[in-house]
Structures are given as C-alpha cells and as structure tokens.
Structure 1
C-alpha cells in the first residue's frame, strides 16, 4: 500500500504540473486570438472571459491524456534514474505490478475525462454558441471602445470615437474612414478613401431591423491618395449603415449537443461524435499501458532518452483516431467497427512493450534449446 500511494502521488503531481503548463500555453494562444477579434470590434470585450471559461473543459479533454502520458514518463523516468524502481524490482515488484498500481490514477483520469467528454464539454460549447449568437446580433456601434481605432471589414473601415455614453446611445468626436476599391483593379493606386468627421452621433433603429449611425455637424472627404480631385462635403446630418460584425468563431453543432441528443440522433455525424467521446476516456488507459514500459531508462542514458519517441508514438495514436473519425464521417468505416481497431492496435503495442523482457527471455531460451537440438542431431 505504501508503494501504491508513493507511485500514485508521483504520477498525479507530475500530471498536474504538466497539464497546468499545457493549459496555460493553449489558453494563452486562444486568448490572444480572441483579443485580436475584440480589438477589431468583432467581439464584445466583456464576453472574452466567459468564452475562455466555457472553453476550459474542451481544452482539458485534450490535455489530460497527454498530461497523463507525460506524467508517467517523467515521474517513472526520475525513479529509474535514481534507481528507486530498480530497488522495487529487486524487492519483487515487477513492471506488471507497477502498471497495476498506475491503473488507479489512470482510472481517476478516465473518470474525469468521461465527465468532461459526455457532459461538461458539450455544456460549455453550448454556452459558447449562445454567446457567439449574441455577438452576431451586435453591430459595429455596440462594440466601439472610446479612444481606440477599431478596424472592420478586414481593415476596410476604421472607426474612432472620443466618448461613448453609458447607455451607448450617444457618441462624441466621431471619426470614420472607409476604403473603396475600384471594380477594375485592386491596386493601391485605384483605392478611394472616404473620411467622415462629426462632433456627435447617435444610433437609430429602423422598423425593418436595420441600424444607422446618424452623424451630426461634420464633414465628409472623398478622394484618392496622391490625387488632387477630392471632394469635401459639409453636412448637418449624415446616416451610415451599421453592418453586423462577423465574429469569425464557430462552434460545431455536434460538439454542442448533449450525449442524450447524440444517442437519439440518426445522422452519421452524430454517431461519429459519439464514438469520439467514447474514445477519449479509453485513451487514458491505453497511453498508460504504453507509458509504463517506455519510462524505463538506463541511469547512464538520462530520463529524456525515450521521451521524444514516446511523444511521436502518442501523436501517431491521436492522428489515427482523428483519421478514423474522418473516415467514419465519410462512411468509409462502419459504425460497428468505429474507432476500436485503433485502440486495439495500440493496446497490442502496449502489451508487447510491457512484456517485452519476458518475451525476449523466452525467445532467447527457445533459440538456445533449438541450437542444442540441432547440435545433438
């Protein structure tokens, strides 16, 4: 029991550290992407934290199997390097028993992954989908931030306001520039620029649902850079149609569906998603079976000798699962087969690695017996 607690603690501590680092890296990349969307006025900045919070279960669903795999490799690699497992082996604790001990944290991770895969991740994706739909209902006016130039239409429109009222109905110090490309050419020389400047503005909603930014007391400048034939118009009131910003972030409908809805669905995409959700918890057991024998290293070689090949093996496993999911989507593989051949393949790889020493011993013994028989003959 002491050995079991010790090995479990080492694996869980390393798993937690590795998963935390991977989660921070992935969330940082995603957050930068969302921040870029918000800076362009495509997302309401107040929705960023909510989106990130609801995406965490989906991130963990992919991180935890890798974290468990690396956790076993790093934790047991250190124990091999410090000859602790060598002492355990000399005390009668075989590699198979070490795997049995490691199955407990693997079971814990599999239960967490099942909860994430079957419930928490779909729930989070549904909430993200709701937030994105709310963002689609916003206009450029709703995402304006005072004192910041915001780009819309892939840089075709740039808007700046000095002040925005608390109810977001009134603007002060408005600057809008829009680039129009000629029909015959899209070169810089053929671009025309329109600049609107106004002291104030307000949002007006029409009965058909369209919204306009009504500018008051300002000027409009139309012209082409480098040319003198520009036009200046002074206006008392000027209306600009507010386009809806395209968020550019999508959520797959099957990812946001609950497990009960997937089981009741008849479309092949729903069945494929169900296979994928089942595959995630199974991944924890199979990678543990592979990681335990791969963690064995010679103290003279260092603990990172087998780390790179092991990661390649894990990536091959994940890549085959993704390829099988694509094949299921396209109907190339039947639902009865599903992703089980991939699991079976790497399960066999793990069993061979786990019993490799015993298999090699029996093979060498069989060869020696065969050689003696041949010599006597």
Structure 2
C-alpha cells in the first residue's frame, strides 16, 4: 500500500469511526431513555442501567455501519475533489479503478466488523439483555415493591415501603403476614436493605417493632428489634426465558434443533434472519461501490457535484429499503432471499462497471433545460431586478 493509499485509507476509516460513534451515540440515547424506569421505579443502580442499555449497541452498529461508511467515503471524496487532488491523481495516471483501491481496503475492514457483529456480538448482546431483564422481572424486591403501594406477594402476605433512598435503602417498611393460620405477624420498621446470598434473598429490617397475634390469646406479643431478617427467597427466584430469533448465534440459525418450539412455530423467520446475517457484510461493498461510482470520477471545482451526491444517496437508500422489503417477504417467500442476493450483487457489479468505465454521472440535458426554463418563467413572473 503506497503513501497515497495509506492517506486515503486512514482518512476514510477515521471519518467512518467518528460518524459511527456519533450516529450510534444519538440513537443509543433515544433507546436508553426508554429504560430510564429501571432506576426510577425499579430501584436499579446506574451501573445496571448503563449495562443493560449498552448491550443494544452492537445491534445498532450492525445497521449503522454501512451507512456510516457511505457517509465517510462521500466526505473523503468531497475533500479530495475540493482540494483538486482527484484531478491531480488522474493527471498522474491514477484511473478511477486505481483510486478505488484504498476505499476497497477500508470497506473490507468494515465488512469484517459487520460480519463479526452479525454472527456473534449482536445476538450475544440481545441474549444478555433478555437474561438480565428476566432476572429483574422475576425479582420481587425490585419489580413489585413500589414506593407508596401495598404489594400483595401472596394471598396472605402484604408489604409496603414508603420510599427508596440512595444506596438501596428502603424507608418506612410495613409487613402484614397471615400465612400461618395460627398467628398473624405485623412488622413496622424504620428502614431496611436487601441482602442476597447463596442461602436466598432477605429483607433485612432495622429499628422496628414486631407484633404477633396468636390464636386463642387475647393480647398480642410486642417485640422491639434492632435488626430482623425477613425471608423473601420464595418470591425472588429466577424464571426461565425462551431465546428469540434475534438472540440466536449464526450457527444456531444454520442448524436449529427440530424440537425447538420457536423454530417449529416460526421457521420462516429463522430463514429470513439467517439470510440477513449472511447479507449484512455485503452491504458495505454495495454502498462503497455505488458511492464511489457517483462521486469518484474527476471533476473540476466549477462542476457541480450536487446531482451526483443526490444520486448516490437515492441509490443507497433505495437499495437498503428494497433489502428490508425482501427480508420481510423472505418469511413467507424463500425466493425473496434470492432476489436480495441478486440485487446486492447487481449493485456491486453495476457500481464497479461504472468505476472501471469511468462513467461520469451528470444530470440529463433535458432536465437541465427544463430547470432553466422554469427559472426563466419565475423571473418573468416576478420581474427581473432593476439594473443598478
């Protein structure tokens, strides 16, 4: 790789990284705001909140990376064209196909990243989110005990907390336990904490009173305590969860178990997801070829690039939307996956043909004439500006 190739390669990848981080960060914030109730209503820490919401980042990168590459290539080509470097390299003997080489290297790096994310990182992140969510949902101490509400955990067990304080402290705890028909226990504590260990989950109450009403006795027994552990293991057991299609690794999609209930119910979605994983690394090549085909030919600074930029955006956007449509149709029509493969290879082949042939994308003459005539009509309608 020569010095020019290294310069273009580094510029493209640096722009790609900056754009990818920016777009992913913006979209991640919008997704993370949906889970803000983890801290406000379920009493989770900031570490748990950030941990759960950050696991969705690989799935976002999987969609954003090809688009970020397209924007990075457009930025690099526009920079080279503005500084007249493309014309100088063309005059020095660089053909458009030769100039495409460093962009191709950068595309290979992005495609490898996308392939790794599609096959392992994205499903692994979604799997961890589902597992974490199942643990939180199954934990009564964080999900059911809401401040100011009476939570009936069992038919004869009611618990209420006044508020959640920093550090996981529960303030103003009330417990009414009638599970034993021979006695009724009422507990009022100033505050308490949650303790989880190998033996189970406990609500550790501090500075409170325990009142026990025994059957056959007239007066209750009142006990003041400084520390009392209330067993909550029965209500804090984890629950099983079923992995969805997006949580499966690529090898699990290639050979699903015939006894898998999800596969038996949704075989078409397994097929569509598998093809999406295979097609994900091809989109960077298609986007790179189309973008360079529209913007990579030598132009002077007097020639407008607006039409080429608009054409590249339209081509990339149309290709991605058609891909989404084919993916949806693949669920019921297996041949739709073949159409998507042909469409991507046609886009790559068409873009490479335009690059090798040196096709310059310019607006049609008829379109320019129509625009000029429209401008003249507008000027006649509103009147030409008076001469100075």
Once the two structures are superposed, what CA deviation does each residue of 1:77-107 show, in whole Å capped at 9, x if it has no partner? 1101110011001111011111223111111
RMSD: 4.6
User: Which of 221, 229, 247 is the equivalent residue of 1:256?
Assistant: 247
Structure-2 separation of matches of 1:308 and 1:43: 47
* Aligned residue number for residue 111 of structure 1: 112
With over 3 angstroms needed to count, the CA separation of the structure-2 counterparts of 1:150 and 1:255, relative to structure 1, is farther
* Aligned residue number for residue 322 of structure 2: 320
After the TM superposition, list the runs of 4 or more consecutive aligned residues in structure 1 that deviate by more than 3 angstroms. 42-46, 148-153, 162-166, 198-203, 300-309, 355-360
Q: Compute the TM-score of the two structures, normalised by the length of structure 2.
A: 0.64
Is 1:41 the counterpart of 2:32 in the alignment? no
Q: How far off its partner does 1:69 sit?
A: 0.7
Q: How far off its partner does 1:308 sit?
A: 4.6
Which has the bigger relative contact order, CA under 8 A and spacing at least 6? 1
With over 3 angstroms needed to count, the CA separation of the structure-2 counterparts of 1:252 and 1:302, relative to structure 1, is farther
Q: How many residues align?
A: 306
Any unmatched runs of 5+ in structure 1? 176-197, 204-210, 218-235, 237-243, 245-249, 361-377
Matches within 5 A, 1:1-377: 1-41=2-42, 45-139=46-140, 141-143=141-143, 160-161=162-163, 163=165, 171-173=170-172, 253-265=244-256, 267-296=267-296, 299-300=301-302, 306-329=308-331, 331-334=332-335, 337=338, 339-351=340-352, 353-355=354-356, 357-358=358-359
1:72–1:292 Cα contact (<8 Å) kept: yes
* Aligned residue number for residue 365 of structure 2: none
Structure-2 separation of matches of 1:301 and 1:251: 58
* Aligned residue number for residue 189 of structure 1: none
2:162–2:171 Cα contact (<8 Å) kept: no
With over 3 angstroms needed to count, the CA separation of the structure-2 counterparts of 1:15 and 1:152, relative to structure 1, is farther
Structure-2 separation of matches of 1:7 and 1:162: 55
With over 3 angstroms needed to count, the CA separation of the structure-2 counterparts of 1:299 and 1:36, relative to structure 1, is farther
Q: Compute the TM-score of the two structures, normalised by the length of structure 1.
A: 0.66
Once the two structures are superposed, what CA deviation does each residue of 1:114-153 show, in whole Å capped at 9, x if it has no partner? 11111121122211111111122023x42599xx978999
Q: How far off its partner does 1:341 sit?
A: 2.7
Structure-2 separation of matches of 1:56 and 1:37: 18
Q: How far off its partner does 1:160 sit?
A: 4.5
Give the match's secondary structure for 2:335: coil
1:162–1:172 Cα contact (<8 Å) kept: yes
Any unmatched runs of 5+ in structure 2? 152-159, 175-187, 195-201, 210-221, 223-234, 236-240, 259-266, 362-388
Give the match's secondary structure for 1:255: coil
Structure-2 separation of matches of 1:152 and 1:41: 15
> 46-55 vs 67-76, which deviates more?
46-55
Structure-1 separation of matches of 2:148 and 2:352: 57
1:275–1:339 Cα contact (<8 Å) kept: no
Q: How far off its partner does 1:277 sit?
A: 0.6
Give the match's secondary structure for 1:337: helix
* Aligned residue number for residue 224 of structure 1: none
Structure-2 separation of matches of 1:321 and 1:343: 9
Give the match's secondary structure for 2:112: helix
